[in-house]
Amino acid sequence: MRNAKRTEVGVISVDGEDFAWRLHREPQWCTTDGWRGMVLAVRHVDGQREAFVEWPMPKVASNSVPYRKRPKIDAPLLNQAVSAAIQAGWEPLSRGRPLSILVV
């Protein structure tokens, strides 16, 4: 039996431009860095260059243990991803390597 991986993909319009997005990585434990957050890959529908937008794992205030659930992917989160990438210098219609961004 194949390993069924849950994929989430879609298109969102931000400021009149259409961007395709997909879930690039679920939150995971890394032995060197600890908890790593969810990463979304975003690109302009007419462009080639992607931006990888990562959210840190949320912490519980009492003992700094992260929640083990990933954030819900909805329109405000996707708008935040595209806006953060553009503010960080991402040019969606250019060519080149993907840009990695950590949203704080």
pLDDT of residue 93: 94
Q: What is the pLDDT of residue 56?
A: 84
pLDDT of residue 5: 57
Retrieve residue 47's tokens.
């462009």
pLDDT of the residue at 55: 87
So what's the pLDDT on residue 51?
96
Q: State the virtual CA torsion across 98, 76, 70, 65 in degrees, nearest 10.
A: 100
Give the pLDDT of residue 28: 85
Looking at residue 1, what is its pLDDT?
45
φ, ψ dihedrals at 84, nearest 5°: -65, -40
CA distance 32 to 39: 18
Q: What is the pTM of this model?
A: 0.81
pLDDT at 68: 65
Three-class SS of the chain = CCCCCCCCEEEEEECCEEEEEEEEECCEEECCCEEECCEEEEEECCCCCEEEEECCCCECCCCCCECCCCCCCCHHHHHHHHHHHHHCCCCCCCCCCCEEEECC
Spans of the chain, pLDDT less than 70: 1-7, 59-68
